[in-house]
Amino acid sequence: MDSALWVFGYGSLCWNPGFNYDKAYTGYVKGFTRKFWQGNTTHRGVEGQPGRVATIVEDKEGTVWGKAFRLTGEAALPYLDNRECVLGGYKTQFATFYVRNDRDENASFPVLIYVARPDNRLWLGDAPLPDIANQIITSKGATGHNVEYLLRLAKFMREDIPEAEDSHLFTLEFLVMTRIKEQNLCLKYLMGEIQQASDPPPEVIQLPEPEPAPELRQNSFQFITMVPPKKLRCLNI
């Protein structure tokens, strides 16, 4: 291709890169598998209740589909290093990216990839998929709900790379969607499309307390003064 720096996105970079680039291809890298084994406490979770985000782990028979971006400008790489390494706990390495549906089957070029390893402080590792789905359902961070991260990634793969196979991703999508229906959760809220249903209610206007009735004293004419005047009629006896 060229001597420019290319970055491979396989998680939120696919649908929310956040940096400047002038060219992008969909395609894949070999020798890895995508897993939701990395914790996150800045974007999709908080300290004490981390969210689950994607990383890639070595797998000789594996293939990870995603998107390669050619970076432009001086701010792109520092932005990525802060987003993925400083805040996310990932490390960098290079891999070979293969362009999807290119006429030249050998069309490939090196890409920078961000990989979370078991020695980073946010590593959560393997777990039963139902447990991972439950954690995603209950996690939310400064960027949004963990559900949004998962579902937008699955949507990107399904719409932009329909031939991509990823049983881990799509099984988690199915489990999360099932739990959303079972628990009657608001999908639009989880996807960041509306505000939380439990936002503070409108201000309640306090009405003044009614004034107490005047006290009546015994053996006085106060009662008489309270009786409304009436006209008298003459009776014929």
Cα–Cα distance for residue pair 170/187, rounded to 1 Å: 17
Q: How far is CA 136 from CA 80, 82, 200, in A?
A: 24, 23, 25
Provide the annotated active-site residues: 84
Structure token digits, residue 142: 């400064």
DSSP summary character for residue 237 = -
Cα–Cα distance for residue pair 29/86, rounded to 1 Å: 24
Q: Which helix (H) or strand (E) holds 189?
A: helix 187-190
Cα–Cα distance for residue pair 175/51, rounded to 1 Å: 16
Q: Which helix (H) or strand (E) holds 90?
A: strand 90-99
* 3 state DSSP class of 101: coil
Cα–Cα distance for residue pair 187/151, rounded to 1 Å: 10
* Residue 94 burial (CB count, 10 A): 12
Structure token digits, residue 9: 């996105």
